[in-house]
């Protein structure tokens, strides 16, 4: 039974106010929904869903027993029919590669992205070399995918070891690695294009990257001016690339065409970005105009 807080009269449950003093009846068991709550309603926090790509050990054990079956079947059929391992080498080595790529991160207690990437790339490299050696001459067609995988591994390793701490050293090592890769491809193809075509283009890229890194540290080339600087470097790269390619293919590098079109598009944009960076009033006007 509720009581009036003013006169202490016992009230009926259905009454909304005291009949003597007209004081509103407050029932703690029935809170007023229109009144302000002391605390807001609890909102469920949205958490980012992370997908774990590393399989569990139980899944690895299950897949191990599943993969053993076709491996044994292929070996038995091949040995039974040919008395030696012939065609079964290819499916057996493929099954072993799949198991290594799947099992390594799950069975290791401590692993990182670069460790998993290293094991995966070198496993694929050994797989390709073994296929090439078993199918014919040693290091024939496997040179191309193996060299490409090793170059990718070097790029990831450089980013992992140095990151943003030593960008100049990273660019130089990446330049040397790329040049060695292209030279290896040239030697594998038996043609001569590295010193006349590949090396000048890669060197031009290195020079432009080092120039961009050096100028980006200056306050003048911050903000939109940095984007303008990148556009200028892209224009120079296109002009230099067409000059080198025309000189290698046609013997005349001065006849430029498509690179001038790229430069005519990017250079005015770069000049506009430089002007925006230098003129504060115009920059404020653009920010207000486009609600930036």
> Do residues 172 and 236 both lie within one domain?
no
Give the domain range for residue 281. Answer: 219-292
| Model pLDDT for residues 236-285, shown as the tens digit of each residue | 999 999 999 999 988 876 788 999 999 999 999 999 999 988 888 887 88
**Which two structure tokens, joined as six digits, stand for 133?**
């050696």
Q: Is the dihedral of CA 155, 156, 158, 163 positive or negative?
A: positive
- Residue 244 sits at φ, ψ, to 5 deg, of -70, -45
* Residues 114, 116, 122, 125, CA torsion sign: negative
How many independent structural domains does the chain possess? 3
Residues 238 and 211 in one domain: no
Does residue 197 share a domain with residue 224? no
d(CA 61, CA 55): 10
Answer yes or no: are the C-beta atoms of 146 and 125 closer than 8 Å. yes
Is 288 within a domain? Answer: yes
118-146 pLDDT, tens per residue?
A: 989 999 999 999 999 888 777 788 999 99
Domain-embedded: residue 97 = no
Please tell me whether residues 230 and 288 are part of one structural domain: yes
User: Is 46 part of any domain?
Assistant: no
Specify whether 170 is located in the same domain as 190: yes
Identify the CA nearest to 277 among candidates 186, 233, 216: 216
In a domain, 201, yes or no: yes
pTM of the model as a whole = 0.72
Same domain for 193 and 231? no
- What are the pLDDT digits (tens) for 173-193? 999 999 999 999 999 888 899
Tell me, yes or no, whether 132 lies in a domain. Answer: no
| One-character DSSP codes across 11-50 | --TT-SB-TTT-PBP--TTS--SSSPPSSPPP-PPPPPP-
Q: Which of 198, 217, 236 is the last residue of a domain?
A: 217
Amino acid 283: pLDDT:
79
Q: What is the pLDDT of residue 52?
A: 60
Distance CA 156, CA 141 (A): 24
Does residue 292 sit in the same domain as residue 224? yes
| Euclidean distance between CA atoms 134 and 128, whole angstroms | 10
């Amino acid at each position: 039974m509720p009581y009036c807080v003013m006169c202490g009269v016992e009230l009926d449950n259905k009454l909304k106010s005291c009949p003597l003093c007209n004081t509103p009846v407050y029932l703690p068991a029935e809170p007023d929904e229109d009144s302000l709550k002391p605390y807001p309603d609890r909102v469920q926090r949205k958490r980012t869903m992370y997908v774990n790509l590393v399989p569990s050990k139980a899944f690895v054990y299950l897949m191990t027993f599943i993969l053993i079956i076709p491996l044994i079947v292929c070996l038995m059929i091949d040995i039974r029919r040919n008395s030696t391992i012939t065609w079964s080498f290819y499916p057996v080595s493929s099954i072993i590669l799949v198991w290594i790529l799947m099992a390594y991160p799950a069975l290791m207690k401590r692993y990182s992205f670069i460790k998993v990437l290293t094991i995966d790339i070198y496993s694929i490299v050994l797989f390709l070399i073994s296929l090439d050696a078993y199918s014919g001459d040693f290091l024939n067609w496997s040179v191309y995918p193996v060299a490409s995988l090793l170059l990718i591994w070097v790029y990831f390793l450089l980013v992992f070891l140095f990151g943003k701490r030593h960008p100049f050293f990273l660019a130089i090592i990446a330049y040397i690695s790329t040049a060695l890769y292209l030279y290896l491809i040239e030697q594998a193809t038996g043609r001569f294009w590295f010193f006349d075509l590949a090396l000048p283009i890669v060197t031009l890229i290195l020079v432009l990257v080092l120039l961009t890194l050096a100028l980006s540290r200056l306050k003048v080339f911050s903000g939109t001016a940095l984007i303008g600087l990148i556009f200028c470097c892209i224009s120079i790269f296109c002009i230099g690339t067409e000059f080198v390619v025309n000189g290698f293919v046609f013997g005349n590098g001065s006849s430029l065409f498509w690179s001038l079109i790229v430069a005519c598009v990017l250079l005015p944009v770069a000049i506009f970005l430089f002007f925006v960076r230098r003129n504060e009033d115009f920059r404020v006007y653009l920010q207000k105009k486009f609600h930036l």
